Structure 1
Amino acid sequence: MAQVEIKTYEGNKQVSENVEIKEMNIFQIKRVAKELNKLVKDVNTNEHLKNALDAFFAKRNEIVEENRRLYEEAIAKGESEAFQYSESEAFKQVGAQFFKDILGSFELVLENAPDSLQNLISQASNINVEVLGQQNVYTFLDVIDAVVEVNDIPKLIERLKKSKDSFSAVLTVLFPKKETTNE
């Protein structure tokens, strides 16, 4: 367990309370997964954000390929060093369209994502979403850190992957796919 100091107000009086962050139970994990899926869906369906990321990664891949080509040419010429484009070059080359697309996704980035993140952390920590919303950013980050620490999130993710694989294997044995034949 980890403790986080939460501050609330009763009238004009500030009240501090140490809240214990405990391991998530199955119901909490289910609610967190649902909120996370909602956030991922919002990100994936936002055309502006999708266009910005697609353009950036396409340009980044072009630059990586150009770096590889320049390196191979330098090696072929017997040169020990070759000019390499930096990561920031991708931002420069995608230019104004990237920023236009990012600005178009501000509703998601500034409105939906923070609410979803707040709901997600509220579910994971068992702290009321309204109380959590009243905290300063450092306390909010402390709550996130405590949730990650107490639940050992990286270990949990790996364990869920392993269990998913095991469950899939059981389902395959119980419900084998029928092979279709053309007769």
Structure 2
Amino acid sequence: MNNQHDSTKTYSRRFFIKASSAFTALAFIPQTVKAFCHDVKETFFVKKEIIPLSLKINGKDYALNTDSRTTLLDLLRENLNLTGTKKGCDHGQCGACTVHVDGKRVLSCLTLSATLPNKEVTTIEGLANGDNLHPMQEAFLEHDGYQCGYCTSGQIMSAVACVNEGRTTSTEEIKEFMSGNICRCGAYNGITNAIKSVAK
């Protein structure tokens, strides 16, 4: 009887010690997690910084104050309401956000606006001359180079670069150059034919 009573007391004491240890550890977890998250943020994330930025977009000069972490895509769409440039994958894999910087095509979703001081940016809105469409825009209409149209602005910007860079000596070369622009509707034949017609 006494042995049983002692055993019960021992068990209760052990349980109390374990429970106390567990609750003590839990009390420190929030501080530990908070400190860990702070270290991760300081190590891997760029701090917010508002910077002045001057650049030319579609022939117009802009003087902006922007977050140093803002991509060119978000600057165009969110700050300047130039929504012709589309946000597709936002990871540089679909080409829908293609624009020209100093005449060269770039993926605007992967380009930080802070890296473009005094650069000249051309978007799909800047290709046409008033009511006169760019020859590539006319060719896309003529050759049905689009279906749903979501990828079309990026396709056209890459297609213009394809012609300007002389990458049109063969169908295979055109397809290779344009391979970074995905059309989920599958209008690739029309796109290729449009580029061929402009290249002539």
**TM-score interval for Structure 1 and Structure 2 normalised by the shorter chain:** under 0.3
Q: Greater Rg, structure 1 or structure 2?
A: 2
**Could you tell me the TM-score, scaled by structure 2's length?**
0.18
Using the size of structure 1 for normalisation, the TM-score is 0.19
Q: Which structure has more RCO (C-alpha within 8 Å, separation ≥ 6)?
A: 1
